[in-house]
A and B are shown apart, each in its own frame.
Chain A
């Protein structure tokens, strides 16, 4: 578990180096890593391209290529993410019926549990555990928010949101 979260933290550092909000994510199926990604919001100019959404895309692509029923497949997927999934990602993961979500540090601004409990909106809920290597995840975020987002026009920098 710790090893996989360390992998997710590596991805988050990679995001930081690319001047993206440092969040990394790994999807596992049994003991296999089936998807890994990080935030690509600035690269795609699409603020919804969070690490979790990128991983979902990878898994769906894999299922399509191998004629696997994604609905059944996602039921066995565990999600490791360095920051608590935001409301949007928590809804997407609920919708896909993933088995479990394990996160690093909490997301005080947009957390899908901390700010608004997204599980209330869905019938089937995943297991949610937090606080795995939280300090490391938080340290990366702090490092990011010390600088400013280079792709936002000056007047809009303030509005940039966390994950």
Chain B
């Protein structure tokens, strides 16, 4: 498909954009009618492959000098030391690559910290077998008072006739006699309560998801409040098929931006060139009206801080009458997030149904004056989604985090390990507040950045 370059005056452009905005409504309907036909049947097929891929990635640093072919194979989760026949199936043209990217039905994978995937860790405790079941509740009450479980409060105190006494490191020597001695000394009323004592393994931390709860249940019962949000994240089911189509559309736009700039240097650009280049492209979207707020392409060779993500963040600032880098040739504030008029025209031409431009920014004093609420104006990147063709580096990941980006979606995993998993572990992204209101457990998701990986890779059918 050839791109037709159009020469237009600024007025014509603005007019064109207005028209496109008018068409937007009908365009949206068109998109959604396409979505109806999307099915999730082959999700399961990919899931098995995903699990395989993600465990592979977690085994540390990959060799840096892998060939392009291997890189492609890794990205597509197809790296098998023996088979080579499969490798020849990758699409060779940009057109087929882009078509696969946008039309693929693979799920969007949530990047969770490692502890969701690792087997549960266990710790050793002493338990006592109660002689008389009738005494059970009395003993539990006393133990909870004298020896609260503290770090192990996720465990049920008793399981059938067994009661947890304390972790084994509570006592110096580990004999039956020493436990009996301890009980007589500290809780003499329980001196005759137990048949015998033994050491068992119990889950060291609270289970977060049902899979872990089931794993725990085999050794000892835990308190567990199922969290629908986390369950969906773990199962890669957070987004509906409709939403996934939208994500893929915007990811396609991120690639389109990379292609637009890279074709200037290499008219015969191939998908391999994008994969192999040390560049990134970014699209920032306001999910409330599915509009593109800002885009950016890398300039890291000339300016090591100007990764596309940092540029896009600054471009968002420009739509809010801010910004630090002088990198935009557009006068209209709402469109400054688009960097250049040429690129804006190109994207308008390629994506006539996508709304481009930021909502009007209203300063704090104007909000107060007009008695508007904070939600009537965009504020930084709060609540926005960000799409990138590659995993962000640490700098960019933190940049989006402090900006209030709600959802971070990227495609290719980086060769140089940025270890998003480490990052998610340390920076509390998926924390969920739990509170009990009138006996019902209420979950509230904290407003923090979520990271998702859109599984585009080099697809083949």
Contacts and interface: CB of A to CB of B under 8 A. Distances in A.
Contacts of B324: 40, 44, 46, 49, 54, 57
Contact of B323 (A46, A47, A110): A46
Contacts of B375: 155
Contact of B374 (A44, A56, A155): A155
Contacts of B418: 121
A138 interface: no
A121 B394 contact: yes
Contacts of A30: none
Nearest to A43: B322
B393 A91 contact: yes
Given A70-B304, A88-B402, A91-B394, 16 more contacts: A45-B323, A46-B316, A46-B317, A46-B322, A47-B403, A48-B310, A48-B313, A57-B305, A88-B395, A88-B396, A91-B398, A92-B395, A121-B417, A121-B419, A152-B364, A159-B382
A44 B394 contact: no
A87 B313 contact: no
A155 B380 CA distance: 14
B317 A161 contact: no
B377 interface: yes
Contacts of A12: none
A88 B447 contact: no
Contacts of B304: 56, 60, 70, 92, 95-96
A47 B398 contact: no
B374 A156 contact: yes
A116 B402 contact: no
A109 to B, nearest CB: 10
Contacts of A76: none
B422 interface: yes
A44 B317 contact: yes
Contacts of A150: 364
B382 A88 contact: no
A64 B382 CA distance: 34
A113 B346 CA distance: 43
A89 B396 CA distance: 10
A121 to B, nearest CB: 5
Interface string B356-379: 000000001001000001110101
B322 A116 contact: no
Interface of A: 40, 43-49, 53-54, 56-57, 60, 70, 86-92, 95-96, 110, 115-116, 118, 120-121, 150-156, 159, 161
Interface residues of B, number: 40
Contacts of B322: 43-46
B310 A115 contact: no
Contacts of A43: 322
- Which 4 pairs show the lowest CB-CB distances between chains A and B? A45-B322, A153-B374, A88-B398, A91-B395
A46 B380 CA distance: 7
Contacts of B303: 60
B14 interface: no
A156 B376 CA distance: 13
B308 to A, nearest CB: 13
5 contacts: A115-B426, A116-B426, A121-B394, A152-B364, A156-B382
User: Which residue of B314, B364, B402, B418 has the most chain A CB atoms within 10 A of its CB atom?
Assistant: B402
A155 B372 CA distance: 12
Given A46-B323, A57-B324, A121-B418, A159 B398 contact: no
Best-surrounded residue of B316, B323, B395 (most CB of chain A within 10 A): B395
A88 B397 CA distance: 8
B142 interface: no
B167 interface: no
B16 interface: no
B187 interface: no
B427 interface: yes
Contacts of B417: 121
B27 interface: no
Contacts of B352: none
Contacts of A153: 364, 367, 374, 377, 379
Among B322, B364, B377, B394, max chain A CB count under 10 A is at: B394
Interface in B285-329: 303-305, 310, 313-314, 316-317, 320-325
Residue of A45, A91, A110, A118 most packed against chain B (CB within 10 A): A45
B91 interface: no
Contacts of B313: 46-48
Interface in B198-219: none
B404 interface: yes
A87 B394 CA distance: 7
Given A60-B303, A115-B427, A159-B447, A152 B379 contact: yes
B323 A88 contact: no
Contacts of A89: 395
Nearest to B377: A153
A153 B361 CA distance: 12
Contacts of A156: 374, 379, 382
A131 B444 CA distance: 38
A128 B419 CA distance: 22
Contacts of B402: 47-48, 86, 88, 110, 161
B234 interface: no
A56 B418 CA distance: 22
B398 A86 contact: yes
A59 to B, nearest CB: 11
A99 to B, nearest CB: 16
Contacts of B148: none
A49 B394 CA distance: 16
